[in-house]
Chains A and B, each alone.
Chain A
Amino acid sequence: QQKVQQSPESLTVSEGAMASLNCTFSDGTSDNFRWYRQHSGKGLEMLVSIFSDGEKEEGRFTAHLNRASLHVSLHIREPQPSDSAVYLCAVSSWMGYKLTFGTGTSLLVDP
């Protein structure tokens, strides 16, 4: 059964500094990787999806995927206080939408 782990559990960065979040997964057949953001009391907002090794940029959000290392990361350029939220990594196989989520990284951006 797929296991998805995220690190760190929480992260504080200063406004404008780069924020880097990590996600490891256990199933080497995984081919569908998504990063979501969840503000307190709100639903999930998809930030970036990536399906092949390498890099995918969506605005200030960049995902890096290395399937051989079972690792996907999210980098947030010039974070703002409004980016303070929980960030969730989600993974699936067979390009399906049946996603397995990690437990999240809580990001706080100090002004």
Chain B
Amino acid sequence: EAGVTQSPRYAVLQEGQAVSFWCDPISGHDTLYWYQQPRDQGPQLLVYFRDEAVIDNSQLPSDRFSAVRPKGTNSTLKIQSAKQGDTATYLCASSLGDRGTGQLYFGEGSKLTVL
């Protein structure tokens, strides 16, 4: 069974540029999460979806970050006008349901460097 797939794996930008990250969750998983992991820190939840609906985006910097999951499968996280403080690895995870004793499955992440 394929795991969670993310692309691109790496991106290097100048401040002010935009970037999009793409995530393909495990087939059949209805819940998808985007986490931001700055260097030497733990992951921090940005947003999560149940099917195509946003359930929680309270930690998503809404002025420059946006996330969509239009068909309830793949998802895109976009950063507009990137800042040096956005330098981090962006992790996507998926699960069946959003609570219980099951597992979240994480992708390998997209590492962003903003110069």
Is the CB–CB distance between A41 and B99 below 8 Å?
no
Task: Give the complex CA separation of A97 and B93 in angstroms.
Answer: 10
Asked whether A43 is an interface residue with its Cβ less than 8 Å from the other chain, the reply is yes
Q: Which residues of A are found within 8 Å of B91, using beta-carbon distances?
A: 43-44
Residues of B within 8 A of A88 (CB): 42-43
A104 to B25, CA, bound (A): 25
Give the residue of A99, A100, A104 whose beta carbon is less than 8 angstroms from that of B104: A99
B21 to chain A, nearest CB (A): 14
Q: Does B62 touch A at the CB level, under 8 Å? A: no
Separation in Å of the A102 CB from the closest CB of chain B? 5
Beta-carbon nearest neighbor of A45 in chain B: B106
Contact status of A51 and B101, CB under 8 A, knowing A41-B108, A101-B42: yes
Chain A residues near B93 (CB-CB < 8 A): 44
- Asked whether A17 is an interface residue with its Cβ less than 8 Å from the other chain, the reply is no
C-alpha gap A44/B41 in the complex (Å)? 13
Other A-B contacts than A43-B107, A97-B104, A103-B40, 8 sampled, CB-CB below 8 A, are A41-B108, A43-B4, A46-B104, A95-B100, A95-B101, A97-B31, A98-B33, A100-B45
* 23 pairs, CB–CB < 8 Å, chain A vs chain B: A43-B4, A43-B91, A43-B106, A43-B107, A43-B108, A44-B91, A49-B103, A90-B42, A94-B99, A95-B99, A95-B100, A95-B101, A97-B31, A97-B33, A97-B95, A98-B33, A98-B45, A98-B98, A99-B43, A101-B42, A102-B42, A103-B41, A104-B42
